[in-house]
Every structure is written in structure tokens, then in C-alpha cells.
Amino acid sequence: MKSPLSPKMSPKIRSSFVGSALIVMACAAVVAGSAQAQDAALVPESVLAGAGNQSVEGRQAISNYLMTGNPRPQEIAARAVVAINSLQRSGNFSDPAQLIAAADRIAQVATPALCPPKVMKVFMDESFSLPPNARGFDFGSQDSRPMPGFDRVTPGDSRLTGGQTRALQRPGDNPLLSDGLIGVNKFITPMENGTHRVLLFTDDIGSEDTYLSPLGAKVIVNGREIDLGDHPPEEWLPQAVLADPNNPPSVTDTEVNGRRTNEQRGGALMVEVEITNGQLEIELIEPGGGGQPRQTYMVGAMVEPVNQNASFGRHLDASEAILDTEECLDLEADITTALAELLEEIEPAAGPDLELLDLPEPIIDDGDSASPA
């Protein structure tokens, strides 16, 4: 893996997010998480020790520190910067090369975690219908009312493979969110080639033991892997609203068009994929461990071209939860800058014999880097 000291900086093309009928609203402000506050709390010794070795346990300690509490991307970057800065102050690294390698391990864990797809809480407005040129799939029992315009997917459907599914009907009048299938493993269906936006829908069915992560520990869509781990409903990102994109609903932190958002709430995972083999392939990997049966639960899916003429709007505060490509690159630049500054501090003291593990010269983009503070 290339060291983030010299990241391959792709052109800063702002992610369009154009085409989905999701309109995002923030339900709460992001917890203030400046680097100074993180510094005051000190970086756990397990993180410093983990950065100093190449073990799986070491990387896990770093990941736990960066990801605890479902942090926003800005907070992940701030924690990584504080951890890198704490390495030298810890006194644990007398060898400059080991210090650089430890900082690089923190960056290697942090940068992929900055902006992965995450599950969002979702509420369906009465105005929502399947967008033009989109395909919808409503998972549930044969006798339940399907979502208009969506294909019905029931237990025993030939498009479901790799596991035994059973239907679950829940209270509520929403045809998409109020019923679904337990135990979905793979769903494969013909789909037009091209770049598509895929939305996977699940629901919070209130079972903490069995459904800690209803979409599974990992989701694979046409080869693209999204690691979710234990991602329970209370950690889902701020509210999203399925609505008519041409008639945006009145949205507040708690209501949509006068209806409370907790009346019928599910979860949605959005991912863009390139389909080249003429079919959509979705795989849900069940969470393991914990001593409890932990199955997946899926209520539906929607697929649309990325150039769909609908829109993916965001409430004023939602940018804290979902960042576009340019913002993600800016946060990566913050981490890269911390690494470069560490190099500048230790290189003169170490002398010309310092071996930098074949790390290339740092490439820093200071033009518009955003501070995570």
C-alpha cells in the first residue's frame, strides 16, 4: 500500500450526488470535536503501541480510537492528526524511522475511513414515487401490499441465492418500510450497464441482540465492498427523506410536512457502482460473533442512473455527515500535512543517515485544505 505521505491526489471533481430522490436533513448538530479537545483527553497508550507494530491487533486499536462513537469524517481526521502529533511526545520512539512508520500506519487506517458510505436514517414522504428511469425492488411477503412501481421480491424468489429467507411484516402503513425479508444473502437481477446509484433499504426492528447491523457486517455491490461492522440503528447518520425531487417537502429536525420522522423510519445505504456484466449483484455478509443469531434484514432496493434528472439535496447541516469528493480530499490533506510536519521536525535531528522506508517525498496541497477543528 502506498504511503499517504505521497497520496495519489485525483482531480478535485465535486461529487454530484445528482439523481437520487433522497433529501437529507440533519437531526442534530455535530458534536464539537476539535483537535485540542482530543489532545486534552490524550491518545490511549494502546493506540501508540498499536502504531508501533504491524500486527492486526495494533491496527484494530487504531481503528477503535478513530471510529468509536460513529464520528463524522471531520472528527476522524482530527483524531488522526492528534494521534500522529502524540507519537513524538510519547517518547516511545527513539528510532526516527520507526516514528515515521508508526505515523504512517495511523494515516493508513484513517484515510480509507474518512468518507465511506454509511447507513442513514430514512423517512418516506407521501409525495415519493419511483423516479423515472429507476428500478425498484420491494422485499416482503406474497400477501403484503407492494410499493407502487417496485418489483416484488418474496421468499423463494429465483433472484435470491445463498441462504434461507423469511418474510417479516411490521406495524405501519408504509408499503416499502413496513415489511421485508430476514436472512437475505445475495440478490442478483438483470440491470442495464452503466454507472448507477444503488440504495439499499433496511429498518430498525428493535431487536438489539439479533439485528445490531441489519444490512450485515459488510455489503458488496458489484464488487464494491462497504465495511459496516457493528453499525446499529442508533449510530445511523442524520435523517434522510425519500420525496418527490420536484416538490421538496417542508423539513425540520423532527418533522417532514408535519409528520414526525419517528413515525416510520428505516435505514438507507447509498453506493455508486459501475455495472459492466448486465446484472446487479448485491451481497450482505452477516455479522459474526456475540453468541447470538445475527441475520440480515432488507426491505427493498432502488437503482437509478447517476445522471438521473432528479436531485440529491442536503439540509444545511447535513454536510457534516455526508461529504463530497473535494471535502474528503481536503481532510486527507490535513492528515498528509501532519505527516509532512513530523518529517520536517525529525529529519534535521536524525541526520543524513535516516532511512525513510523508501517513502517518497511528501506532496502537500496547502491551497484550500480545510481544518478539522
User: 310-357 pLDDT, tens per residue?
Assistant: 434 343 334 445 566 677 888 889 999 999 888 888 765 555 444 444
Q: Cβ–Cβ contacts within 10 Å for residue 150, how many? A: 20
pLDDT at residue 137, as a whole number:
97
Q: Which residue has the higher pLDDT, 109 or 241?
A: 109
Pairing of strands 237-242, 119-124: parallel
pLDDT of residue 68: 82
**Hey, what's the cell of 302?**
432502488
Give the residue from 135, 269, 271, 130 showing the smallest Cα distance to 190.
Answer: 135
The residue assigned the cell 447509498 is: 270
Q: What is the pLDDT of residue 330?
A: 87
What pLDDT, on a 0 to 100 scale, did the predictor assign at position 236? 81
Q: Identify any residues that bridge with 268 across adjacent strands, giving them in sequence order.
A: 120, 201
Q: What is the pLDDT of residues 250-289, one digit of tens each?
A: 877 778 778 777 766 788 888 888 999 999 999 998 866 5
Q: Give the pLDDT of residue 107.
A: 92
* pLDDT at position 329: 82
Q: Average pLDDT, stretch 175-180?
A: 90
Q: What is the pLDDT of residue 309?
A: 44
CB within 8 Å of 42: residues ≥ 6 apart: 86
Whole-number pLDDT of residue 360: 37
Confidence of residue 136 (pLDDT cuts 50, 70, 90): very high
CB within 8 Å of 339: residues ≥ 6 apart: 4, 5, 84, 100, 103, 104, 107, 362
- Predicted confidence at residue 103, as pLDDT, reads 93
- Range with lowest mean pLDDT among 231-245, 289-303, 306-320: 306-320
Pairwise pLDDT comparison (197 vs 10), residue with the higher score: 197
Q: Confirm or reject CATH 2.60.120.430 for domain 119-320, answering yes or no.
A: yes
Distance CA 288, CA 295 (A): 9
Of all residues in the chain, the percent with pLDDT exceeding 90 is 28
Q: Where are the domains of the chain?
A: 44-115+323-350, 119-320
CB 330 within 8 A of CB 369: yes
What is the predicted pLDDT for the residue at 313?
A: 38
Higher local confidence (pLDDT), 350 or 9 = 350
What integer pLDDT is reported at residue 138 of this predicted model? 97
Whether the CB-CB separation of 325 and 100 falls below 8 Å is answered with: no
The pLDDT of residue 363: 34
Closest CA to 87 of 341, 333, 329: 341
Gap between the terminal Cα atoms of the chain: 28
Distance CA 113, CA 66 (A): 9
CA–CA separation, 262 and 122 (whole Å) = 10
* pLDDT at 95 (0 to 100): 86
Cell digits of residue 359: 517513502
Asked if residue 81 has pLDDT above 90, the reply is: yes
Q: What number is the average pLDDT over the span 7-18?
A: 33
DSSP state of 233: G
Residue 69 has pLDDT above 60, yes or no: yes
Exposure string over 70-109, b if 16+ CB within 10 A, otherwise e: ebbbbbbbbbbbbbbbbbbebebbeebebbbbbbbbbbbb
pLDDT for residue 38 is more than 50: no
pTM for this entry? 0.65
Task: Look at residue 299 and tell me whether its pLDDT is greater than 80.
Answer: yes
* Residue 201 banded pLDDT, cuts 50, 70, 90: very high
Average pLDDT over residues 57-71: 84
DSSP per residue, 100-145: HHHHHHHHHHHHHHSS---EEEEEE-TT--PPTT-EEEEES-TTSP
For residues 266 and 201, the answer to whether their CB atoms sit within 8 Å is yes
Instruction: Please list the residues that pair with 200 across neighbouring strands.
Output: 269, 301
Mean pLDDT of 173-192: 92
Task: Read off the pLDDT of each residue in 96-122 and give the average, rounded to a whole number.
Answer: 86
pLDDT value, residue 348: 57
Provide the mean pLDDT of the chain: 75
**What pLDDT does 208 receive?**
59
